[in-house]
Amino acid sequence: MTRHIRGGGPLVAALAAALALTACGAGGRDSSDGEAAVADPGVTDDTVTIGGTFPLTGVAAPGYSEIPTGAKAYFDYVNEQGGIHGRQIEYIVKDDGYNPTTTSTVTNELVLKDEVFATVGSLGTPTQASVADYLNDEGVPQLMVSSGSLQWGDDVENRPLTFGWQPDYESEGKIIGQWVAENMPDAKVGLFLQDDDLGEDAEKGVRQFVDDQIVAVERYTSGNTDVAPQVSGLQAKDADLVLAFNTPSYTALSQLVALKTGYKPQWFYANIGSDPALVGSLLERFSEGAVAGSSAALDGVMTTEYIPGIDSADDPWVELWQQVWDEHGDDGELTNYRIYGMSQAYAFVQALEAAGEDLTRDGLVEAIEEGGTEWEGPQLAPFRYSADSHMGISGMRVVELEGGVGEPLTDVLVTDIGDAEITTDDSGQADDAPPEGGVPTS
């Protein structure tokens, strides 16, 4: 079902129609009367304008608001070196407060007022779901969504312009489930799930391997900060291993409740909720200082990783990101969320480079589908991009956190949704290093 952007009215409809007419025959091809066609929106000889929506304010802002600051720093780094094919990247960021209605409004602004070429890295499952059909209907690529929902890549026919970036939650659930089945076969497993695509997709993957070990399933609604009933439910069923698929605030909240009740299971948090520094700071805030915040707050917790982070300071990609942040970053330190934004921006720059000088939206999509699986980059496993799948990174490794550092428990494991096998990655992707100068070239 097509979703319509609220608050548009006749003016928006008229503008949309005008843009659609402008886009016909775009991309340097000749129009039917033989005249040169107008370029796609957001593209000039000297610039390409893109946009993104993020929770810069509100309850989801901690951590997530840092992602676009990392992306901007990398785009500025690229621009300083001449841009891509002579074009400077202009990056417009809008605050949606993690509210789908606001996302619709500000996405309208990006498309109709700012005339962006594409959206890149916009964050959130409910927020991006509210605009996915609109962007596809308007012919605007929705690239590298910051979310692991399956809907960003498993329905290319209906959303041909939407692409994921990070590993999907179902594949992560599979990898976690297999590790538990092989290494903790006697554990009584409890699931702590966000009650949306995050929890639903992850549970689907986990149950492929540990269905008979699960003794309790507890779900929370995002926005409701009282998770005492859920944690108590896990404790009542004697779950000694909790697999948690939740955002960082709920890692801190669940840890705080467990501390208060004396509940001490083995915790295994999905990547999305396991940033040690952020969780430590949230624990201190939520406890009003009763719990000292530090990266050690998650010592002994297991999680996954799919790009190198600040705990790998000697990694060549992290060294590049530190240089980029030192030269072009705003206030504050380099964080894992800023590294996430830079890694995502790097992938988009690769797409621009691959699309060539005659930049069109169709050409960009084709470049990602045809070459994305071969791209070098900081991701530990290859992308799954093709004409049939727009799913993002194909795998990750399991790690245990100690002092904010992830100690690997597995090699990099790759898989796909459904019953695809989990295998050790043999592509060499994890051994990639940045090119000289830090900007990808053909």
**Tens-digit pLDDT profile for residues 386-415:** 999 999 999 999 999 999 999 999 999 999
The pair of structure tokens assigned to 168 is 């999907």
- Distance in angstroms (rounded) separating the CA atoms of residues 441 and 85: 10
Where does the pLDDT of residue 5 fall: very low under 50, low under 70, confident under 90, or very high at 90 and above? Answer: very low
Q: What is the mean pLDDT of the chain?
A: 91
Is the pLDDT at 363 greater than 70? The verdict is: yes
Residue 196 DSSP code? T
Share of the chain above pLDDT 90, in %: 87
Both tokens assigned to 345: 């921006």
Q: How far apart are CA 363 and CA 368, in angstroms?
A: 9
Q: Which residue has the tokens 């928006």?
A: 12
pLDDT at 32 over 90: no
pLDDT at residue 410, as a whole number: 98
Query: Do 135 and 127 meet the contact criterion of CB atoms below 8 Å apart?
Result: no
Per-residue pLDDT band for 59 (boundaries 50, 70, 90) equals: confident
pLDDT single digits (tens) 215-257? 999 999 988 999 999 999 999 999 999 999 999 999 999 999 9
Average pLDDT over residues 252-274: 96
pLDDT digits (tens, 9 = 90+) for 289-298: 888 877 788 9
- The Cα–Cα gap between 395 and 42 comes to 33
Cβ-contact 406, 274 below 8 angstroms: no
Q: Which domains are seen in the chain, by residue range? A: 9-167+313-393 (3.40.50.2300), 169-305 (3.40.50.2300)
Neighbours of 420 (CB within 10 A): 13
Please report which confidence band the pLDDT of residue 26 belongs to, taking 50, 70 and 90 as the band edges. very low
Q: What percent of the chain has pLDDT above 70?
A: 91
Q: Report the C-alpha gap between 2 and 384 in whole angstroms.
A: 26
User: Which tokens is 143 given?
Assistant: 């690239």
> Contact 180/207 with Cβ under 8 angstroms?
no
Which has the minimum average pLDDT: 8-22, 62-76, 187-201, 357-371?
8-22
**88 phi and psi, to 5 degrees?**
-80, 140
* Structure-token match 């949704």, residue found: 417
Mean pLDDT for the stretch of residues 72-101:
97
